[in-house]
Structure 1
Amino acid sequence: MEVTEEELTAHKVILEQGPIFVDEIKLHELIDYELPDTSWEQLQIILDSLHSFGLVRKRQTHDERVLYQARTKEIAKKLQNLDEKEFEIYELIENSERKGIAKSEIQKTTKIVQSIVESSLKSMQDQQLVKEPADESLSRLLYNNGEVDTIVVEALKSLCYNFIYHRSFPKDLEEEAIYFPAYTGYATLAKIVQCIQESKLITEVDVEDADIRQILDVLIFEGKIVRLVSGAIPDSDTMDIIDTSHDSHVMYMAKKPRAVSNAWTPTPCGRCPYFKDECTEDGEISPSNCVFYPQWLNRGISLINEPSKSKGKEKNIMDW
Protein backbone atom coordinates (compact mmCIF):
# COMPACT_ATOMS: atom_id res chain seq x y z
CA MET A 1 0.00 0.00 0.00
CA GLU A 2 1.04 3.57 -0.66
CA VAL A 3 0.13 6.86 0.97
CA THR A 4 -2.86 8.40 -0.82
CA GLU A 5 -3.13 12.00 -1.99
CA GLU A 6 -5.67 12.72 0.75
CA GLU A 7 -3.32 11.34 3.40
CA LEU A 8 -0.42 13.40 2.04
CA THR A 9 -2.59 16.51 2.19
CA ALA A 10 -3.54 15.75 5.79
CA HIS A 11 0.12 15.11 6.65
CA LYS A 12 1.04 18.50 5.17
CA VAL A 13 -1.56 20.20 7.37
CA ILE A 14 -0.25 18.49 10.52
CA LEU A 15 3.37 19.23 9.56
CA GLU A 16 2.51 22.93 9.22
CA GLN A 17 1.54 23.02 12.91
CA GLY A 18 5.23 22.70 13.80
CA PRO A 19 6.72 20.73 16.71
CA ILE A 20 3.53 20.58 18.77
CA PHE A 21 0.90 17.94 19.44
CA VAL A 22 -2.56 18.90 18.15
CA ASP A 23 -5.73 17.10 19.17
CA GLU A 24 -7.95 15.39 16.61
CA ILE A 25 -10.83 17.83 17.04
CA LYS A 26 -8.60 20.76 16.06
CA LEU A 27 -7.09 18.68 13.24
CA HIS A 28 -10.57 17.94 11.92
CA GLU A 29 -11.16 21.69 11.57
CA LEU A 30 -7.79 22.31 9.91
CA ILE A 31 -7.95 19.38 7.52
CA ASP A 32 -11.53 20.23 6.53
CA TYR A 33 -10.22 23.44 4.95
CA GLU A 34 -8.02 21.39 2.59
CA LEU A 35 -10.33 18.38 2.27
CA PRO A 36 -13.89 19.75 2.53
CA ASP A 37 -16.63 17.49 3.90
CA THR A 38 -14.17 15.10 5.53
CA SER A 39 -16.24 13.12 8.02
CA TRP A 40 -15.02 12.17 11.48
CA GLU A 41 -14.83 8.52 10.41
CA GLN A 42 -12.76 9.44 7.34
CA LEU A 43 -10.43 11.50 9.52
CA GLN A 44 -9.83 8.52 11.82
CA ILE A 45 -8.96 6.33 8.83
CA ILE A 46 -6.54 8.96 7.51
CA LEU A 47 -4.84 9.43 10.89
CA ASP A 48 -4.56 5.67 11.48
CA SER A 49 -2.99 5.25 8.05
CA LEU A 50 -0.51 8.09 8.62
CA HIS A 51 0.43 6.53 11.95
CA SER A 52 0.98 3.12 10.35
CA PHE A 53 3.31 4.72 7.77
CA GLY A 54 5.22 6.47 10.57
CA LEU A 55 4.23 9.92 9.32
CA VAL A 56 2.65 10.97 12.60
CA ARG A 57 3.11 10.34 16.30
CA LYS A 58 0.16 10.10 18.62
CA ARG A 59 -0.24 10.58 22.33
CA GLN A 60 -3.16 10.33 24.75
CA THR A 61 -3.63 12.92 27.48
CA HIS A 62 -4.89 12.47 31.02
CA ASP A 63 -8.38 13.52 29.88
CA GLU A 64 -8.30 10.92 27.05
CA ARG A 65 -7.79 13.37 24.19
CA VAL A 66 -5.72 11.93 21.33
CA LEU A 67 -3.00 14.26 20.06
CA TYR A 68 -0.94 14.05 16.88
CA GLN A 69 2.41 15.41 15.79
CA ALA A 70 3.87 15.07 12.29
CA ARG A 71 7.14 13.37 11.50
CA THR A 72 9.02 14.33 8.35
CA LYS A 73 8.85 12.08 5.30
CA GLU A 74 12.60 11.42 5.65
CA ILE A 75 12.21 10.04 9.19
CA ALA A 76 9.10 8.09 8.25
CA LYS A 77 10.97 6.44 5.38
CA LYS A 78 13.73 5.31 7.76
CA LEU A 79 11.16 4.00 10.22
CA GLN A 80 9.76 1.70 7.52
CA ASN A 81 13.08 -0.19 7.67
CA LEU A 82 12.77 -0.95 11.40
CA ASP A 83 11.38 -4.21 12.69
CA GLU A 84 8.78 -4.34 15.46
CA LYS A 85 11.25 -4.38 18.37
CA GLU A 86 13.38 -1.61 16.87
CA PHE A 87 10.32 0.57 16.37
CA GLU A 88 9.23 -0.02 19.98
CA ILE A 89 12.66 1.11 21.17
CA TYR A 90 12.59 4.11 18.83
CA GLU A 91 9.20 5.30 20.12
CA LEU A 92 10.36 4.95 23.73
CA ILE A 93 13.41 7.13 23.02
CA GLU A 94 11.32 9.59 21.00
CA ASN A 95 8.78 9.95 23.81
CA SER A 96 11.51 10.67 26.34
CA GLU A 97 11.87 14.02 24.51
CA ARG A 98 14.98 16.03 25.41
CA LYS A 99 15.69 14.45 28.77
CA GLY A 100 16.94 11.24 27.16
CA ILE A 101 16.77 7.70 28.48
CA ALA A 102 19.36 5.21 29.67
CA LYS A 103 19.93 1.84 27.99
CA SER A 104 19.06 0.07 31.22
CA GLU A 105 15.70 1.87 31.32
CA ILE A 106 15.00 0.88 27.70
CA GLN A 107 15.61 -2.77 28.49
CA LYS A 108 13.55 -2.61 31.69
CA THR A 109 10.57 -0.93 29.99
CA THR A 110 10.49 -2.94 26.76
CA LYS A 111 11.52 -6.33 28.27
CA ILE A 112 13.77 -6.79 25.23
CA VAL A 113 17.03 -8.65 25.86
CA GLN A 114 20.18 -6.56 26.10
CA SER A 115 21.82 -7.89 22.93
CA ILE A 116 18.82 -6.87 20.80
CA VAL A 117 18.64 -3.46 22.48
CA GLU A 118 22.33 -2.91 21.70
CA SER A 119 22.03 -4.00 18.06
CA SER A 120 18.84 -2.00 17.55
CA LEU A 121 20.42 1.14 18.93
CA LYS A 122 23.47 0.66 16.75
CA SER A 123 21.27 0.31 13.65
CA MET A 124 19.24 3.43 14.50
CA GLN A 125 22.38 5.42 15.26
CA ASP A 126 23.81 4.47 11.86
CA GLN A 127 20.61 5.81 10.26
CA GLN A 128 20.86 8.96 12.42
CA LEU A 129 17.47 8.26 13.94
CA VAL A 130 18.70 8.42 17.53
CA LYS A 131 21.72 9.56 19.50
CA GLU A 132 23.57 7.47 22.02
CA PRO A 133 21.27 6.99 25.04
CA ALA A 134 22.55 8.42 28.29
CA ASP A 135 23.85 6.03 30.91
CA GLU A 136 24.50 8.66 33.58
CA SER A 137 23.03 8.13 37.02
CA LEU A 138 19.43 9.05 37.66
CA SER A 139 18.61 12.43 39.15
CA ARG A 140 19.33 12.51 42.88
CA LEU A 141 16.45 14.94 43.28
CA LEU A 142 13.60 13.04 41.57
CA TYR A 143 14.65 9.45 42.19
CA ASN A 144 15.41 7.41 45.28
CA ASN A 145 17.10 4.01 44.85
CA GLY A 146 16.04 3.94 41.20
CA GLU A 147 12.37 4.66 41.94
CA VAL A 148 10.53 7.94 41.48
CA ASP A 149 10.38 9.86 44.77
CA THR A 150 6.68 10.70 44.62
CA ILE A 151 6.78 12.93 47.72
CA VAL A 152 9.49 15.16 46.25
CA VAL A 153 7.89 15.16 42.79
CA GLU A 154 4.43 16.14 44.10
CA ALA A 155 5.92 18.86 46.31
CA LEU A 156 7.87 20.27 43.38
CA LYS A 157 4.79 20.15 41.13
CA SER A 158 2.82 22.13 43.71
CA LEU A 159 5.58 24.70 44.22
CA CYS A 160 6.17 25.16 40.48
CA TYR A 161 2.46 25.49 39.71
CA ASN A 162 1.87 28.06 42.47
CA PHE A 163 4.89 30.10 41.35
CA ILE A 164 3.67 30.07 37.73
CA TYR A 165 0.02 30.71 38.64
CA HIS A 166 0.78 33.90 40.61
CA ARG A 167 2.61 35.31 37.57
CA SER A 168 0.02 34.29 34.98
CA PHE A 169 -2.84 36.71 35.60
CA PRO A 170 -3.16 40.43 36.42
CA LYS A 171 -3.82 41.10 40.09
CA ASP A 172 -6.76 43.14 41.42
CA LEU A 173 -8.71 42.77 38.18
CA GLU A 174 -11.75 40.71 37.27
CA GLU A 175 -11.35 36.95 37.28
CA GLU A 176 -11.32 36.56 33.48
CA ALA A 177 -8.57 39.17 32.92
CA ILE A 178 -5.39 38.10 31.11
CA TYR A 179 -2.22 39.91 30.07
CA PHE A 180 -1.84 41.48 26.62
CA PRO A 181 -0.45 39.16 23.86
CA ALA A 182 3.12 40.56 23.85
CA TYR A 183 3.49 40.34 27.64
CA THR A 184 6.86 38.88 28.66
CA GLY A 185 6.55 38.76 32.44
CA TYR A 186 5.45 35.14 32.76
CA ALA A 187 7.54 32.65 34.74
CA THR A 188 10.70 31.32 33.08
CA LEU A 189 12.66 28.18 33.86
CA ALA A 190 15.48 30.23 35.37
CA LYS A 191 13.11 32.08 37.72
CA ILE A 192 11.36 28.89 38.78
CA VAL A 193 14.66 27.15 39.53
CA GLN A 194 15.85 30.21 41.46
CA CYS A 195 12.67 30.20 43.55
CA ILE A 196 13.07 26.54 44.46
CA GLN A 197 16.77 26.88 45.20
CA GLU A 198 16.15 29.82 47.53
CA SER A 199 13.15 28.29 49.28
CA LYS A 200 14.96 25.11 50.45
CA LEU A 201 11.49 23.79 51.31
CA ILE A 202 11.70 20.60 49.28
CA THR A 203 15.16 19.11 49.57
CA GLU A 204 18.73 19.97 50.37
CA VAL A 205 19.87 18.40 47.08
CA ASP A 206 20.86 21.02 44.51
CA VAL A 207 18.08 21.65 42.02
CA GLU A 208 19.09 21.44 38.36
CA ASP A 209 17.37 22.89 35.29
CA ALA A 210 16.87 19.41 33.82
CA ASP A 211 14.98 18.26 36.94
CA ILE A 212 12.58 21.21 36.92
CA ARG A 213 12.09 20.91 33.17
CA GLN A 214 10.82 17.36 33.76
CA ILE A 215 8.42 18.64 36.43
CA LEU A 216 7.15 21.31 34.04
CA ASP A 217 6.67 18.69 31.32
CA VAL A 218 4.46 16.71 33.73
CA LEU A 219 2.40 19.81 34.54
CA ILE A 220 1.96 20.47 30.82
CA PHE A 221 0.87 16.87 30.22
CA GLU A 222 -1.63 17.17 33.08
CA GLY A 223 -3.10 20.28 31.43
CA LYS A 224 -2.20 22.61 34.33
CA ILE A 225 0.24 24.89 32.50
CA VAL A 226 1.28 25.73 28.92
CA ARG A 227 4.52 26.87 27.31
CA LEU A 228 4.74 30.26 25.60
CA VAL A 229 7.33 31.82 23.33
CA SER A 230 7.82 35.59 23.27
CA GLY A 231 4.52 36.17 25.05
CA ALA A 232 2.34 34.40 22.46
CA ILE A 233 -1.05 33.28 23.72
CA PRO A 234 -1.24 29.47 23.39
CA ASP A 235 -3.90 27.54 21.56
CA SER A 236 -5.89 25.83 24.29
CA ASP A 237 -6.64 22.93 21.92
CA THR A 238 -3.00 21.89 21.73
CA MET A 239 -0.44 20.36 23.98
CA ASP A 240 2.01 23.18 23.55
CA ILE A 241 5.17 21.06 23.33
CA ILE A 242 7.79 23.14 21.56
CA ASP A 243 11.53 23.38 21.08
CA THR A 244 12.98 24.35 24.46
CA SER A 245 16.60 24.47 23.33
CA HIS A 246 16.59 28.23 24.04
CA ASP A 247 15.12 28.47 27.53
CA SER A 248 15.56 32.26 27.62
CA HIS A 249 12.72 32.56 25.07
CA VAL A 250 10.38 30.11 26.82
CA MET A 251 7.86 31.11 29.47
CA TYR A 252 5.17 29.24 31.36
CA MET A 253 1.56 30.24 32.00
CA ALA A 254 -0.91 28.49 34.30
CA LYS A 255 -4.38 27.36 33.31
CA LYS A 256 -7.14 28.23 35.75
CA PRO A 257 -8.99 25.19 37.14
CA ARG A 258 -12.33 24.68 35.44
CA ALA A 259 -15.34 25.20 37.64
CA VAL A 260 -17.40 22.07 38.20
CA SER A 261 -20.73 22.47 36.47
CA ASN A 262 -23.81 20.55 35.52
CA ALA A 263 -26.88 20.99 33.37
CA TRP A 264 -28.36 23.51 35.85
CA THR A 265 -25.32 25.76 36.14
CA PRO A 266 -25.98 28.14 33.19
CA THR A 267 -29.58 28.81 34.31
CA PRO A 268 -30.69 30.98 37.26
CA CYS A 269 -31.94 27.86 39.06
CA GLY A 270 -28.41 26.47 39.21
CA ARG A 271 -27.24 29.47 41.24
CA CYS A 272 -30.45 30.51 42.98
CA PRO A 273 -30.12 30.62 46.81
CA TYR A 274 -33.79 29.60 47.18
CA PHE A 275 -33.92 26.77 44.64
CA LYS A 276 -33.06 23.82 46.87
CA ASP A 277 -35.02 24.46 50.05
CA GLU A 278 -37.64 27.17 49.46
CA CYS A 279 -38.72 27.02 45.81
CA THR A 280 -41.82 24.81 45.47
CA GLU A 281 -44.75 24.80 43.06
CA ASP A 282 -47.29 25.81 45.75
CA GLY A 283 -44.98 27.93 47.88
CA GLU A 284 -44.41 31.65 48.22
CA ILE A 285 -41.38 31.22 45.97
CA SER A 286 -42.20 29.07 42.96
CA PRO A 287 -41.19 28.54 39.31
CA SER A 288 -44.38 30.26 38.13
CA ASN A 289 -43.68 33.54 39.95
CA CYS A 290 -39.86 33.53 39.69
CA VAL A 291 -38.48 37.06 39.13
CA PHE A 292 -34.98 35.91 38.21
CA TYR A 293 -35.77 33.61 35.29
CA PRO A 294 -37.33 36.37 33.09
CA GLN A 295 -34.23 38.50 33.66
CA TRP A 296 -32.00 35.70 32.45
CA LEU A 297 -34.28 34.85 29.51
CA ASN A 298 -34.59 38.49 28.39
CA ARG A 299 -30.85 38.93 28.59
CA GLY A 300 -30.39 35.88 26.35
CA ILE A 301 -32.87 37.27 23.83
CA SER A 302 -31.08 40.64 23.80
CA LEU A 303 -27.76 38.89 23.16
CA ILE A 304 -29.28 37.20 20.12
CA ASN A 305 -31.01 40.30 18.78
CA GLU A 306 -28.27 42.82 19.50
CA PRO A 307 -24.97 40.93 19.87
CA SER A 308 -22.82 43.99 19.09
CA LYS A 309 -24.22 45.97 22.03
CA SER A 310 -23.66 43.07 24.39
CA LYS A 311 -20.06 42.37 23.33
CA GLY A 312 -17.67 42.41 26.25
CA LYS A 313 -20.50 42.12 28.82
CA GLU A 314 -20.51 38.38 29.25
CA LYS A 315 -21.02 38.36 33.00
CA ASN A 316 -24.48 37.32 34.14
CA ILE A 317 -26.04 40.06 36.29
CA MET A 318 -28.99 39.10 38.50
CA ASP A 319 -30.73 40.93 41.31
CA TRP A 320 -29.77 38.47 44.03
Structure 2
Amino acid sequence: MDLPQKRKNPEPKPKPGGGLAESDGMVLDAIKSKKEMAILKRDLKEETKLPESIFNKCLKNLQALGLIKEVPHVQFKTKKYYIAAEFNPSEEITGGSWYSKGELDQDFINGLKDLCLRIIRKLKVATADGVMDIIKNKGLLKTDCTTQQISEILRYMVLDNKIIEVKSTGLGEYHSIPIGNLCYSLETGAMMSIPCGVCPKIRECTPGGLISPTTCVYYTKWLDF
Protein backbone atom coordinates (compact mmCIF):
# COMPACT_ATOMS: atom_id res chain seq x y z
CA MET A 1 0.00 0.00 0.00
CA ASP A 2 1.34 3.40 -0.95
CA LEU A 3 1.96 5.60 2.01
CA PRO A 4 0.73 9.17 1.78
CA GLN A 5 3.49 11.56 0.83
CA LYS A 6 4.56 14.02 3.45
CA ARG A 7 3.45 17.50 2.47
CA LYS A 8 6.38 19.76 1.70
CA ASN A 9 6.61 23.10 3.37
CA PRO A 10 6.34 25.95 0.84
CA GLU A 11 9.69 27.43 -0.05
CA PRO A 12 10.18 30.85 1.47
CA LYS A 13 9.88 33.69 -0.96
CA PRO A 14 13.10 35.59 -1.53
CA LYS A 15 13.22 38.87 0.31
CA PRO A 16 13.08 42.06 -1.74
CA GLY A 17 16.56 43.28 -2.64
CA GLY A 18 18.09 39.78 -2.78
CA GLY A 19 18.99 38.63 0.72
CA LEU A 20 18.59 41.96 2.47
CA ALA A 21 16.36 42.49 5.45
CA GLU A 22 12.80 42.94 4.28
CA SER A 23 12.68 46.62 5.19
CA ASP A 24 16.03 47.29 3.49
CA GLY A 25 14.84 45.52 0.36
CA MET A 26 11.60 47.48 0.36
CA VAL A 27 13.48 50.78 0.42
CA LEU A 28 15.96 49.61 -2.23
CA ASP A 29 13.21 48.46 -4.59
CA ALA A 30 11.39 51.78 -4.22
CA ILE A 31 14.57 53.70 -5.07
CA LYS A 32 15.40 51.42 -8.01
CA SER A 33 11.94 51.92 -9.47
CA LYS A 34 12.71 55.61 -10.04
CA LYS A 35 15.82 54.75 -12.08
CA GLU A 36 17.79 57.85 -13.16
CA MET A 37 15.14 60.25 -11.84
CA ALA A 38 16.03 59.50 -8.18
CA ILE A 39 13.52 59.98 -5.38
CA LEU A 40 13.02 62.60 -2.71
CA LYS A 41 13.57 61.29 0.81
CA ARG A 42 10.13 62.44 1.93
CA ASP A 43 8.44 60.69 -1.00
CA LEU A 44 10.45 57.55 -0.34
CA LYS A 45 9.30 57.44 3.28
CA GLU A 46 5.67 57.91 2.25
CA GLU A 47 5.96 55.15 -0.34
CA THR A 48 7.51 52.59 2.00
CA LYS A 49 5.40 53.61 5.04
CA LEU A 50 8.16 52.54 7.41
CA PRO A 51 8.57 53.99 10.91
CA GLU A 52 11.06 56.86 11.05
CA SER A 53 13.77 54.98 12.97
CA ILE A 54 13.62 51.89 10.76
CA PHE A 55 13.48 53.99 7.59
CA ASN A 56 16.60 55.97 8.50
CA LYS A 57 18.41 52.77 9.47
CA CYS A 58 17.57 51.27 6.07
CA LEU A 59 19.04 54.26 4.27
CA LYS A 60 22.19 54.03 6.36
CA ASN A 61 22.53 50.28 5.70
CA LEU A 62 21.99 50.60 1.95
CA GLN A 63 24.49 53.44 1.67
CA ALA A 64 27.06 51.49 3.67
CA LEU A 65 26.62 48.55 1.28
CA GLY A 66 27.06 50.86 -1.71
CA LEU A 67 23.62 50.00 -3.09
CA ILE A 68 22.27 53.55 -3.07
CA LYS A 69 23.74 57.03 -3.03
CA GLU A 70 22.56 60.50 -2.17
CA VAL A 71 22.58 62.94 -5.09
CA PRO A 72 22.28 66.74 -5.02
CA HIS A 73 19.40 68.25 -6.97
CA VAL A 74 20.36 71.40 -8.84
CA GLN A 75 16.98 73.05 -8.16
CA PHE A 76 16.37 71.81 -4.62
CA LYS A 77 19.76 72.02 -2.95
CA THR A 78 18.48 71.60 0.62
CA LYS A 79 16.46 68.44 -0.09
CA LYS A 80 17.80 64.90 -0.08
CA TYR A 81 17.42 62.68 -3.13
CA TYR A 82 18.45 59.04 -3.41
CA ILE A 83 19.27 56.92 -6.43
CA ALA A 84 20.30 53.28 -6.91
CA ALA A 85 24.05 52.84 -7.38
CA GLU A 86 23.70 51.40 -10.90
CA PHE A 87 22.02 54.54 -12.25
CA ASN A 88 23.42 57.95 -13.10
CA PRO A 89 21.14 60.87 -12.23
CA SER A 90 19.32 62.56 -15.11
CA GLU A 91 20.21 66.04 -16.32
CA GLU A 92 17.02 67.24 -14.64
CA ILE A 93 18.69 66.31 -11.35
CA THR A 94 22.28 67.32 -12.06
CA GLY A 95 21.66 70.35 -14.27
CA GLY A 96 23.61 68.75 -17.10
CA SER A 97 27.24 69.13 -18.03
CA TRP A 98 27.37 72.76 -16.90
CA TYR A 99 27.05 71.65 -13.28
CA SER A 100 29.41 69.79 -10.98
CA LYS A 101 28.13 68.35 -7.69
CA GLY A 102 25.02 70.47 -7.98
CA GLU A 103 26.91 73.73 -8.51
CA LEU A 104 27.38 75.66 -11.74
CA ASP A 105 30.85 74.78 -13.04
CA GLN A 106 31.91 78.34 -13.78
CA ASP A 107 35.57 77.43 -14.29
CA PHE A 108 34.66 74.95 -17.03
CA ILE A 109 32.31 77.44 -18.71
CA ASN A 110 34.83 80.28 -18.65
CA GLY A 111 37.58 78.00 -19.93
CA LEU A 112 35.38 76.85 -22.80
CA LYS A 113 34.48 80.44 -23.67
CA ASP A 114 38.15 81.41 -23.83
CA LEU A 115 38.92 78.39 -26.00
CA CYS A 116 36.10 79.17 -28.44
CA LEU A 117 37.23 82.78 -28.63
CA ARG A 118 40.80 81.77 -29.52
CA ILE A 119 39.56 79.40 -32.22
CA ILE A 120 37.26 81.99 -33.80
CA ARG A 121 40.01 84.59 -33.68
CA LYS A 122 42.28 82.23 -35.60
CA LEU A 123 39.67 81.11 -38.15
CA LYS A 124 38.09 84.58 -38.59
CA VAL A 125 34.73 82.88 -39.20
CA ALA A 126 33.58 79.57 -37.73
CA THR A 127 30.51 77.43 -37.18
CA ALA A 128 29.78 75.49 -33.99
CA ASP A 129 30.70 72.30 -35.86
CA GLY A 130 33.95 73.86 -37.02
CA VAL A 131 34.89 74.87 -33.49
CA MET A 132 34.00 71.39 -32.24
CA ASP A 133 36.12 69.71 -34.93
CA ILE A 134 39.21 71.68 -33.92
CA ILE A 135 38.68 70.93 -30.23
CA LYS A 136 38.35 67.20 -30.93
CA ASN A 137 41.09 66.88 -33.53
CA LYS A 138 43.65 68.75 -31.45
CA GLY A 139 42.56 67.28 -28.12
CA LEU A 140 42.13 70.71 -26.56
CA LEU A 141 39.78 69.52 -23.81
CA LYS A 142 40.43 66.86 -21.21
CA THR A 143 36.71 66.38 -20.58
CA ASP A 144 34.01 65.30 -23.02
CA CYS A 145 32.17 68.05 -24.84
CA THR A 146 29.37 68.02 -27.41
CA THR A 147 28.51 70.25 -30.36
CA GLN A 148 25.34 71.20 -28.48
CA GLN A 149 27.44 72.52 -25.62
CA ILE A 150 29.63 74.49 -28.01
CA SER A 151 26.50 75.98 -29.61
CA GLU A 152 25.21 77.03 -26.19
CA ILE A 153 28.55 78.61 -25.28
CA LEU A 154 28.65 80.53 -28.57
CA ARG A 155 25.12 81.85 -27.99
CA TYR A 156 26.14 83.03 -24.52
CA MET A 157 29.14 84.78 -26.06
CA VAL A 158 26.87 86.53 -28.57
CA LEU A 159 24.69 87.80 -25.72
CA ASP A 160 27.84 88.98 -23.93
CA ASN A 161 28.87 90.87 -27.11
CA LYS A 162 32.08 88.86 -27.33
CA ILE A 163 31.29 87.61 -30.84
CA ILE A 164 28.60 88.15 -33.48
CA GLU A 165 26.29 85.62 -35.09
CA VAL A 166 25.60 85.83 -38.83
CA LYS A 167 24.49 83.57 -41.67
CA SER A 168 26.95 82.47 -44.30
CA THR A 169 26.66 84.06 -47.73
CA GLY A 170 29.05 81.57 -49.28
CA LEU A 171 31.23 84.51 -50.39
CA GLY A 172 34.63 85.76 -49.29
CA GLU A 173 35.42 84.59 -45.78
CA TYR A 174 32.27 82.46 -45.90
CA HIS A 175 33.37 80.47 -48.96
CA SER A 176 33.90 77.24 -46.99
CA ILE A 177 30.58 77.50 -45.12
CA PRO A 178 27.30 76.51 -46.84
CA ILE A 179 24.98 79.43 -47.58
CA GLY A 180 22.56 80.11 -44.74
CA ASN A 181 24.51 78.27 -42.04
CA LEU A 182 24.95 80.09 -38.75
CA CYS A 183 28.51 81.16 -38.10
CA TYR A 184 30.42 83.34 -35.69
CA SER A 185 33.03 86.06 -35.97
CA LEU A 186 34.72 88.67 -33.80
CA GLU A 187 34.17 91.75 -35.92
CA THR A 188 31.68 93.24 -38.35
CA GLY A 189 33.81 94.05 -41.37
CA ALA A 190 32.40 94.81 -44.82
CA MET A 191 31.75 91.17 -45.64
CA MET A 192 30.30 90.54 -42.19
CA SER A 193 27.81 93.37 -42.46
CA ILE A 194 26.43 92.29 -45.84
CA PRO A 195 22.62 91.99 -45.50
CA CYS A 196 22.69 88.44 -46.86
CA GLY A 197 24.26 87.38 -43.59
CA VAL A 198 21.05 87.93 -41.64
CA CYS A 199 18.50 87.40 -44.41
CA PRO A 200 15.92 84.69 -43.54
CA LYS A 201 15.48 83.95 -47.28
CA ILE A 202 19.17 83.32 -47.97
CA ARG A 203 18.57 79.65 -48.82
CA GLU A 204 16.04 80.62 -51.49
CA CYS A 205 18.23 83.33 -53.01
CA THR A 206 19.71 82.32 -56.39
CA PRO A 207 20.84 84.28 -59.47
CA GLY A 208 17.85 84.65 -61.78
CA GLY A 209 15.47 83.23 -59.19
CA LEU A 210 12.34 84.74 -57.67
CA ILE A 211 14.60 85.93 -54.86
CA SER A 212 18.01 86.98 -56.17
CA PRO A 213 20.84 89.47 -55.50
CA THR A 214 19.89 91.46 -58.62
CA THR A 215 16.35 92.15 -57.38
CA CYS A 216 17.16 92.59 -53.68
CA VAL A 217 16.72 96.22 -52.62
CA TYR A 218 18.72 95.66 -49.43
CA TYR A 219 21.68 94.23 -51.31
CA THR A 220 21.54 97.10 -53.83
CA LYS A 221 21.53 99.69 -51.04
CA TRP A 222 24.47 97.95 -49.40
CA LEU A 223 26.45 98.07 -52.67
CA ASP A 224 25.64 101.76 -53.14
CA PHE A 225 26.74 102.52 -49.59
Could you tell me the TM-score, scaled by structure 1's length? 0.26
Return the structure number with greater relative CO, CA threshold 8 A, min gap 6. Answer: 1
The structure number with the bigger radius of gyration is: 2
